[in-house]
Structure 1
Amino acid sequence: MQTYTTGLFVGRAWSLTEKGPILITIKDGMVFDITHPSIPTTRDLLELDDPAAWIAQANGKCLGKLSELLTNKLEGVRLLAPCDLQAVKACGVTFARSMVERVIEERAGGDPAISESIRSRIATLIGDSLRNIKAGSEEAMRVKAALIEEGIWSQYLEVGIGPDAEVFTKAQAMSAVGHLSNVGLHPISTWNNPEPEVVLAVNSQGQIKGAALGNDVNLRDIEGRSALLLGKAKDNNASCAIGPFIRLFDSTFNLDDVRNAEIDLLVEGGDGFVLKGQSSMSQISRDPVDLVAQTIGKHHQYPDGLMLFMGTLFAPIEDRDVVGQGFTHKMGDVVTISSPKLGSLQNIVRLSTECDPWIFGVSHLMRNLAARGLLKNEELA
């Protein structure tokens, strides 16, 4: 709760009364509906020159206590992902440790049983030599040449230290789930893990307006079999969680706070298993501004903006059941991702086939907003 006493936050919630989504903010521990005909979506809010200033002066209907919303006890309202019309994109292998793990997955062909021996061999060759390298630098190119000579070059090292970042589509607009929702694993996966990340909120002009927490659910065995299976590994029903809110940039929170953010991960299994981890944004190999510039610009436009996952340092290797096979999820795992200035995002792991199906898309949103008198032609120009 202390996290939300400073700063300006925007979120979305499903309202039983409106039979659709509403924009919400927090003031003095209370939740307010601030949906307005001029700002019916998060997308519209982020297009403003100063979204935080608009939130600060917005007058809305009080819905109840924040503590009740965050525990799913606020009557008639439940949290959604804070984004709506934005594309959901993600950057991969932006940290040295996770980059090495992607190489291991590739070499193991998605088989966790042989990953440990490969990990030891690669660690001997690479060690910590990549940790402080700036992607695309002359030093990085020298390391690349040395690795090729050693015979261990990989497509993951290319995007990890080469000039071009890996940017892929994580989820479709309107498909991300929010705080306390189930997150889904494709049923064919047997080796998978959460990926705690900071997610940038970017408008159509490429301006970063705020940030949120995210879980870029990862299927290590599927992507490890072939990088061409990235779509199957990353984009499934309920496989993307964002929230609880977007913290908007203002005098209390800016891009340097994002650059220095510490993200904690806690996985609690019904079998008593507990996994803790941390991802430090200070160790990222590409600056957030560079990642945004490689995603949106003259080469690619996003008229509704985008949410951009920036990658994770976290790659779990702790054994859960079988020695040498590392960590993988079990159904019912409770995953909590938290950061002091962004709050806490919690989800429960299920199969994608058992999570609530995604049935409310962009067309449904437009019809709902129109029925509520929240769409005007001039607002969409």
Structure 2
Amino acid sequence: MKIIRYQKDKDTQVLAAVLNDATVYPLEYTCLTELTEQAKHKGQTPLSFLKEQIQTIDPADVKLEELSLLVPIEAPEVWASGVTYEKSKEARNYEATDGKLDASTFYDKVYDADRPEIFLKSTAARTVGPNTDVYLRSDSNWQIPEPELGLVINKEGDILAYTIGNDMSCRDIEGENPLYLPQAKIWKQSCAIGPALLLAEAVEDAYKLEIICKIYRNNELVVEGKANTSQLKRKYDELVSFLLRDNEIFDGTVLLTGTCIVPPNEFTLMDGDLVEIEIPEIGVLSNPVKAPATKPVALH
């Protein structure tokens, strides 16, 4: 079972459950964490609680594809994991060594280390949902999407649901110096999540999820890649445990688990491109790409 949020009218946002047949059931709750807390109060799991709830609710007289979807959860913080896939390690090495792939770097050390790379990616104000523009950074010439599975967790670190994340990244800024990572990762509308939340209980095996990324330019497919979460080196609980170490997180936090799909090295996103990231069990996260109106003034 999936959870979505949509705009019903100018002043009304609705949380809803979506069944496998795409039937939409509006809920009385405002967010996933409120729903899971109510389920906990009643001594039920979120999935069993929802199944019980929809027995007393009439489905919405609207098709899922007609809804104006919102970001499925207003995550107070979005964190991200890096170098969790072999492909990601290779890409980071390429950036940091001018294409000399045989050169050993700190990325090799992170990939093999006990401690994973975890960094703050976004906040609620910087994060967008489906069909909303993601922005290019004005001072970068090499930018890509990073398709990732996202974990929706509560403050105790329990995985409540899964979603799709787009961790927009500047390969040239990060490759210039790893200390520039925050600038390579965080800017206005540089993170998208959605289109839905897949309840964790509804997933038979979260390490067998296919991830598909397609990038369109002028209505033509220019990049396509596929991966599977079975290729992930680290376990989800491991990533969550490091995020919680001596750290306070909040209900509804999203932790992105890293990417295994990297466009060709000669590719960079451009204004007007369209990024589609799909995990079949969750849906398709589609975002147009928009360039800033002006370039920054050069420093002298």
How many residue pairs get matched? Answer: 285
Aligned to 1:34: 27
Q: Structure 2 CA distance, aligned partners of 1:66 and 1:271?
A: 24
Is 1:184–1:349's contact at 8 Å kept on the other side of the alignment? Answer: yes
Report percent identity of matched pairs. Answer: 31
Alignment of 1:1-381 (within 5 A): 8-18=1-11, 21-27=13-19, 28-36=21-29, 40-47=30-37, 48-49=39-40, 50-58=45-53, 59=57, 62=60, 64-69=62-67, 78-108=68-98, 115=99, 118-119=100-101, 122=102, 152-250=103-201, 252-254=202-204, 257-270=205-218, 272=220, 274-297=222-245, 299-317=246-264, 326-351=266-291
| 2:23/2:59 contact within 8 Å kept | no
Name the CA distance, whole Å, in 2 between partners of 1:158 and 1:13.
43
**Structure exhibiting the larger radius of gyration computed from Cα positions:** 1
State the Cα RMSD in Å.
2.2
CA 1:330 to 1:99, structure 2 compared with 1: closer, same or farther past 3 Å? same
Distance in 1 between residues matched to 2:282 and 2:254, nearest whole Å: 15
Q: 1:200: Cα distance to partner?
A: 0.8
In the alignment, the residues of structure 2 paired with residue 332 and residue 15 of structure 1 have an alpha-carbon distance, to the nearest angstrom, of 28
Structure 1 pair 281–34 and aligned structure 2 pair: CA distance change class (3 A): same
Contact 1:191/1:328 (<8 A) preserved: yes
Does the Cα contact within 8 Å between 1:82 and 1:242 map onto a contact in 2? yes
AA at the equivalent of 1:199: G
Q: Does the C-alpha gap of structure 1 residues 161 and 353 become closer, same or farther in structure 2, counting only changes over 3 Å?
A: farther
Q: CA deviation at 1:102?
A: 0.5
Q: CA deviation at 1:17?
A: 4.0
Shift of 1:60: 6.5
CA distance in 1, matches of 2:184, 2:52: 42
The structure richer in strand per residue is: 2
Aligned partner of residue 277 in structure 1, secondary structure:
strand
- What is the DSSP-based 3-state SS (H/G/I as helix, E as strand, rest coil) of the residue aligned with 1:258? coil
Whole-Å separation in 1 of the counterparts to 2:8 and 2:178: 40
Deviations 1:334-380 (A, max 9, x none): 111112212111111112569xxxxxxxxxxxxxxxxxxxxxxxxxx
Deviation at 1:94, TM superposition (A): 0.5
Q: Distance in 1 between matches of 2:194 and 2:292?
A: 19
CA deviation profile, 1:101-147 (whole Å, cap 9, x unmatched): 10121123xxxxxx3xx24xx2xxxxxxxxxxxxxxxxxxxxxxxxx
Aligned partners of 2:130, 2:292: CA distance in 1, in Å?
A: 17
- 3-state SS in 2 of match to 1:259: coil
SS in 1 for 2:134: strand
What's the CA shift for 1:55? 2.5
Q: Could you give the per-residue CA deviations for residues 312-346 of structure 1, whole angstroms, max 9, x where no partner exists?
A: 111222xxxxxxx6111121111111122121111
Counterpart residue identity of residue 50, structure 2: I
Structure 2 stretches lacking a partner, 5+ long: 295-300
1:273 offset after TM fit, Å? 5.1
Structure 1 distance, partners of 2:75, 2:58, is: 22
Q: Provide Cα deviations, 1:140-180, integer angstroms capped at 9, x if missing partner.
A: xxxxxxxxxxxx44222222111111111110135321111
Q: Secondary structure, in 3 states, of the residue corresponding to 1:278?
A: strand
Q: Is the 8 A contact 1:83 1:174 kept in 2?
A: no
Distance 1:170 1:51 in 2: 27
Q: Is the 8 A contact 2:208 2:230 kept in 1?
A: yes
TM-score normalised to structure 1 length: 0.69
Task: Report the CA distance between 1:246 and its aligned residue.
Answer: 0.4
CA distance in 2: counterparts of 1:60 and 1:352, whole angstroms: 44
Contact 2:148 2:258 survives alignment (8 Å): yes
Contact 1:183 1:352 in 2 (8 A): no
8 Å Cα contact 2:72/2:129 also seen in 1? yes
